[in-house]
Amino acid sequence: MSTRLAELQDIGIRFGERQLLSNINMTLHQGEIVTLIGPNGSGKSTLIRTLLGLQEPTTGKVVRHDHLRIGYMPQKLHIDPTLPLTVKHFLGLVRGVNKKDIRPTLNKVGIPHLENSQVHVLSGGETQRLLLARALLNRPNLLVLDEPVQGVDVSGQVELYNLIDVIRKELNCGVLMISHDLHLVMAQTDTVVCINQHVCCSGSPQHVKGHPAYQALFGIPGADSSLAIYAHNHNHVHDDSGEVVEEGHVHTASCQHHTH
């Protein structure tokens, strides 16, 4: 396997009386996309925050290898409306950023036209792209994405996932992301880790999808189970490998159109 970036060793987290996570072991490698899935309150975000050093584990430890540089994309961006801030200035806040990199990065995530817009007026999809740009400007070899497609409509979600995949290949970085929807991320994910306080199951997307622990949490794919709370209406179909096929047009990161 390729270079190790970071390892979570026997991570346990307890808030007061509540054991939020226990016995989590995970290794992140260069060039690999790992997707965390799990129900609300299963501790996905807490686990990510532990890796980032924003949360101290109660037990276990986080090993960050020397060359590790993390680009973090938080779940959402709240900027106080009393703070006037353009996209350009927001990205200029990255520690040690070279201002010359801002424009190419905006191009890469597909929002070069928003350089001088105020961050408060961006749509959901635009905000996610801005956050991705900020993560990229930290010159990461590990991208940590907490629900990168939150607040984005389904076709926009597909575009974003494709973009993340393109960036992963370009930078050969590792990716750790949280997703609610295994179907959408299947094609781009190498490893899926299903979490509910502990690791329920992990492996390739196909493997996890067929695993009883996954099915108990998310319902059996295709079956109209009462547990299938995460099911939503797809406006597209998947081919066998999980690639999205839409009638007449396949979305890729190079698509320049936006859905608002």
Partner 1 sequence: MLELLMRALIGGIGVAAVAGPLGAFVVWRRMAYFGDTLAHSALLGVALGFLLDINLNFAIVVLCVGLALVLVALQKKHIIATDTLLGILAHSALSLGLVAVSFLDNVRIDLMAYLFGDLLAISQTDLYWIYGGGLLVMSLLVTFWRPLLALTVNEELAKVEGYPVEAIRLLLMLLVAVVIAVAMKIVGVLLITSLMIIPAATSRKLSQTPVQMASMAGVLGCLSVCGGLWASYHWDTPTGPSVVVCAALLFLIAYTLPIRKTA
Adjacent-strand bridge partners of 86: 118
Nearer to partner 1 among residue 69 and residue 103 (C-beta)? 69
**Least distance CB 3 / partner 1 (angstroms):** 20
Site string for partner 1, 13-52 (x = CB under 8 A): ---------------------------------------x
Write out the E strands in 132-230: 142-145, 174-178, 191-196, 198-203
Least distance CB 84 / partner 1 (angstroms) = 5
Could you give the angle at the alpha carbon of 59 between the alpha carbons of 55 and 62, nearest 5°? 60
- If one asks whether residue 138 binds partner 1 (CB under 8 A), the answer comes out as yes
Q: Which is nearer to partner 1, 87 or 163 (CB)?
A: 87
How far are the Cα atoms of 70, 109, 114 from residue 175, in angstroms, in the given order?
10, 16, 26
Hey, what are 87's tokens?
Answer: 């996209």
Shortest Å, Cβ 191 to partner 1? 22
Residues 6+ apart with CB under 8 A from 65: 3, 4, 5, 6
CB of 10 to partner 1, least distance (A): 23
Footprint of partner 1 on residues 66-95 (CB under 8 A)?
70, 72, 74, 77-80, 82-86, 89-90, 92-95
Pick 86 or 123: Cβ nearer partner 1: 86
Tell the smallest beta-carbon distance from residue 86 to partner 1 (Å).
6
At a CB cut-off of 8 Å and minimum separation 6, what does 35 contact? 177, 178, 179, 182, 185, 189, 191, 192, 193, 205
Query: Least distance in Å: CB of 72 to partner 1?
Result: 4
Tell me if 91 sits within 8 A of 79, measured CB to CB.
no
Q: From residue 123, give the alpha-carbon distance in Å to each of 28, 129, 142, 175.
A: 32, 10, 26, 24
Which span (2-10, 115-123, 169-177, 229-237) binds partner 1, by CB under 8 A?
Answer: 115-123
Which residue's CB is nearer to partner 1, number 68 or number 217? Answer: 68
Do residues 129 and 148 make contact, with C-beta atoms less than 8 angstroms apart?
Answer: no
Q: List contacts with partner 1 (CB under 8 A).
A: 52-54, 70, 72, 74, 77-80, 82-86, 89-90, 92-95, 117-118, 121, 134, 138
